[in-house]
Chains A and B, each alone.
Chain A
Amino acid sequence: MSLDPRKSSQPQLTARKVTKTFGSLTALDAVDLDVMRGEVLCIIGPSGSGKSTLLRCLNQIERFDCGAIWIDEEMIGYRQDGDTLYELDDRAIARQRLACGMVFQRFNLFNHMTALQNVMEGPATVLKRPRQEVRQEAIALLQRVGLSDKHEAYPAQLSGGQQQRVAIARALAMKPKLMLFDEPTSALDPELVGEVLTVMRDLAASGMTMIVVTHELGFAREVADRVIFMDCGRIVETGAPDQVLGEPLEQRTRDFIAAVLS
């Protein structure tokens, strides 16, 4: 894979020893991760392997028990003073979340708002930017995801694929530094997967840093710069898509890929 000049070797996101337990279950076991600026990283693995939990920790929707995460050198969740970490308040955490856009498996569009209102909500309510300007941007974003004719549609009137594209536009409206995708096509009917992947492919081509949890191995092979295989809360294998998906070193990776492709 040729290296895109926009993709630098400077990490945009760094995670060290991130650990999360739910009762007796260890969802994340001391995960280390570096994601470069402009990199597209796909995370694959069986369900329960901790890949969604990792994504949710990166955006602080889930609290991690120990370890640390930095986005652009800023530690998330805490304010560091020497060796002491002060837990941040809700408002500061909300501000830090602006760095990441997130797309959910079940879309989670605001059901009481139209497609356009969904996209405008963040910039207008959170960033308090002028409505007219926000509106123009939202219209442009909906056009970018191919939904110019659906401004006034409520989520219930849209197909799954259309809802997910609105959700991507809603996340992009906040101008995030990186985008997190949590199994964005898993809840879709097979014939609707393609339209969402197309939007994600365009986004990757535009140089956005992306972390994508997915079962779409074809998409991972085509678009990812790097693929990570996770199992039991650990990163088992990491490398170029052709290597991890084509000639995996670990038996567990081989088994998983065989199971997905069968």
Chain B
Amino acid sequence: MSTASGSRIGTPAKPDPSSFTIKPRRHYGRWLATALILLALSGIVRAFALGQIEWAVVAQFLTAPAILFGLVNTIIMAIAAMALGITLGVLFAVMVMSPNPVLHYSAKGYIWFFRGTPLILQLLLWFNLALVFPTLGVPGLFAFRTVDVITPFMATLLGLGINQGAYTAEVVRAGILSVDQGQTEAAQSIGMARPVIMRRIVLPQAMRVIIPPVGNEFISMVKLTSLASVIQFSEILRNAQTIYFANGRVIELLIVAAVWYIAVVSVLSIGQHFLERRFSRGQANRGRGR
């Protein structure tokens, strides 16, 4: 392209670009930010190294039987409560989308109630169910004493799972709505019945939208199990507390619990990454900017 003053016919003489040397620009701002962050980090590390923490105690209790037992309980509870939550979530999402007004409003009511009350309050309610109903069962057929059925494990499972279902229902509903109506019509046109369309066509595609938030909620759930320490469920935080009530090493045992929570959550994050990849099959955009 010729310059304004140059002629349009002859090419103005320009030096060969390969003879230039290029000096990259200096990113002073980046260097400054890096220095500040490193300084802050070293300050934090130094504070913890010099603070009143006996790291030997942390190391000693990291694999203590009571802690490992609590860890297993935490993991079992997180998985069980999430399984219950997802099952209820899918069920209530389908109910909310049902043309039947009774199904629709009862599902709406469920979501409204369990999203509207604090989780810890729900746990306490389940745990104290015996105060309301001394026995559970079908009158005339069978009955159990509530205190035998609603153990700390059951109360925690019901509390966390049913509460989770209310949130997951909304996530699943959003996922189902994200699948184009044309997919259902195409499935109908090859003679699929409604339940098969949901299972084979709609839900697999909704998964792409459902998995990231549900993965997030699973990670939340791992940590929410710690609330069950107030109703005597032996998860990791409660067992750490039991130990520090005895030996007074409060911070050390809290650090032990924190290490295990972070470890479990890290494993889950990796799992989520692979699950997301599995369900983005056939998608041109796999969720990364380019």
Contact = CB atoms under 8 A, between A and B. Distances in A.
Interface of A: 59-61, 90-91, 94-95, 97-98, 100-102, 104, 106, 108-114, 121-122, 125-127, 154-157, 167, 170-171, 173-174
Most chain-B Cβ atoms within 10 A of its Cβ — which of A90, A91, A98, A110? A110
Contacts of B139: none
Interface of B: 180, 182-183, 185-194, 196, 200-201, 204-205, 279, 281-284
A121 B192 CA distance: 10
Most chain-B Cβ atoms within 10 A of its Cβ — which of A60, A61, A114, A174? A61
A122 B191 contact: yes
Contact of A112 (B185, B188, B282, B284): B282
Given A104-B186, A106-B182, A110-B186, A155 B192 contact: no
A174 B189 CA distance: 10
A108 B196 contact: no
A58 B186 CA distance: 14
A94 B182 contact: no
Contacts of B192: 94, 122, 125-126
B186 A94 contact: no
Contact of A108 (B183, B194, B281, B284): B183
Contacts of A102: 185-186, 189
3 closest Cβ pairs, A-B complex: A154-B282, A108-B186, A122-B190
Contacts of B189: 59, 61, 97, 100-102, 104, 171
Contacts of A125: 192, 196, 200
A178 to B, nearest CB: 12
Contacts of B200: 121, 125
Nearest to A113: B282
Contacts of A121: 190, 200
Most chain-B Cβ atoms within 10 A of its Cβ — which of A94, A98, A156? A94
Contacts of A100: 189
Given A104-B185, A126-B196, A155-B282, A112 B205 contact: yes
Given A108-B183, A109-B186, A126-B191, 20 more contacts: A60-B188, A90-B193, A90-B194, A95-B191, A97-B188, A98-B191, A104-B182, A104-B186, A108-B180, A108-B185, A108-B186, A110-B186, A110-B187, A111-B283, A112-B282, A113-B282, A114-B282, A126-B196, A127-B191, A170-B186
